[in-house]
A and B are shown apart, each in its own frame.
Chain A
């Protein structure tokens, strides 16, 4: 899979979440000095969390892969369904008399 775009976006989202956590720790330290109660994180942290959530959601939806069609007759399942009719393939016919040009396919 390698480092796809979604993976990098996910790393960025997680880093943003870590930064938000660090900011909250600092904010709590500030509150301790000012002797105030914690009522909720500052608005910048909330914005960072939202951004991190959106980025991670995008990464979480794209990185695991794409959905495959479950209909046996759909376009993308034609090659997957090929081994199902191996019993009906016949190679013992008059065409085998003619020489096969093996190199023809390799050149493509």
Chain B
């Protein structure tokens, strides 16, 4: 499937020489959707980690668990046909994972302070 897509894309780009092999605007819109989902889920994960009273490493483990679940959800949203919506698997699995970490820590400490300290 993957090899077939790549070979056909190459062939068409050689033949027409100028027409792009993928729609850049759609790809950009898809990436924006992924960033929205990841940011929202990192905030929710931070609130959950704070309410559960996690401290230290376990909170980060929870964060990466939630990001993995979000990745699976995004792949399911794409109908398990990642290559018709994205260039590579990295874009749907890895992009934005570290970017949400800061908002996760912010809401983690925020919820922890409200629930457990005050």
User: What is the interface of chain A, defined by CB distance below 8 A to chain B?
Assistant: 13-14, 17, 20-21, 24-25, 28, 38, 40-41, 45-46, 49, 52-53, 56-57, 59-72, 74, 77, 80-81, 84
Q: Are B51 and A20 within 8 A (Cβ)?
A: yes
Chain A neighbourhood of B86, CB < 8 A: 70
Chain A neighbourhood of B53, CB < 8 A: 24, 38, 40-41
Q: Nearest chain-A residue to B87 (Cβ)?
A: A70
Question: SS class of chain B's interface: helix, strand, loop or mixed?
Answer: helix
Q: Are A70 and B26 within 8 A (Cβ)?
A: yes
User: What is the interface of chain B, defined by CB distance below 8 A to chain A?
Assistant: 19-27, 29-30, 32-33, 36-37, 40-41, 44-45, 47-48, 51-53, 66, 69-70, 73-74, 77-78, 84-87, 111, 114-116
